Chains A and B, each alone.
Chain A
Amino acid sequence: IQLTQSPSSLSASVGDRVTITCRASQGISSYLAWYQQKPGRAPKLLIYPASTLQSGVPSRFSGSGSGTDFTLTISSLQPEDSATYYCQQVNSYPLTFGGGTEVEI
Chain B
Amino acid sequence: EVQLVQSGAEVKKPGESLKISCKGSGYSFTNYWIGWVRQMPGKGLEWMGVIYPGDSDTRYNPSFQGQVSISVDKSSSTAVLQWASLKASDTAMYYCARRLDSAEPFNIWGQGTMVSVSS
Contact = CB atoms under 8 A, between A and B. Distances in A.
A97 B44 contact: yes
A23 B10 CA distance: 36
Contacts of B62: 94
Contact of B61 (A84, A88, A94): A94
A32 to B, nearest CB: 9
Given A42-B111, A45-B107, A95 B45 contact: no
Interface in B88-103: 95, 97, 99, 103
Nearest to A54: B107
Contacts of A94: 47, 59-63
B104 A90 contact: yes
A100 interface: yes
Interface residues of A, number: 23
Given A42-B110, A42-B111, A100 B45 contact: yes
Contact of B109 (A44, A84, A91, A97): A44
Interface in B63-119: 63, 95, 97, 99, 103-107, 109-112
A29 to B, nearest CB: 9
A64 interface: no
A48 B111 CA distance: 21
Contacts of B16: none
24 contacts: A31-B103, A35-B105, A37-B45, A42-B97, A42-B110, A44-B109, A45-B107, A48-B104, A48-B105, A90-B104, A90-B105, A93-B59, A93-B61, A94-B59, A94-B60, A95-B47, A95-B50, A95-B61, A97-B45, A97-B46, A97-B47, A99-B44, A100-B44, A100-B45
Interface of A: 31, 33, 35, 37, 42-45, 48, 54, 84, 86, 88, 90-91, 93-100
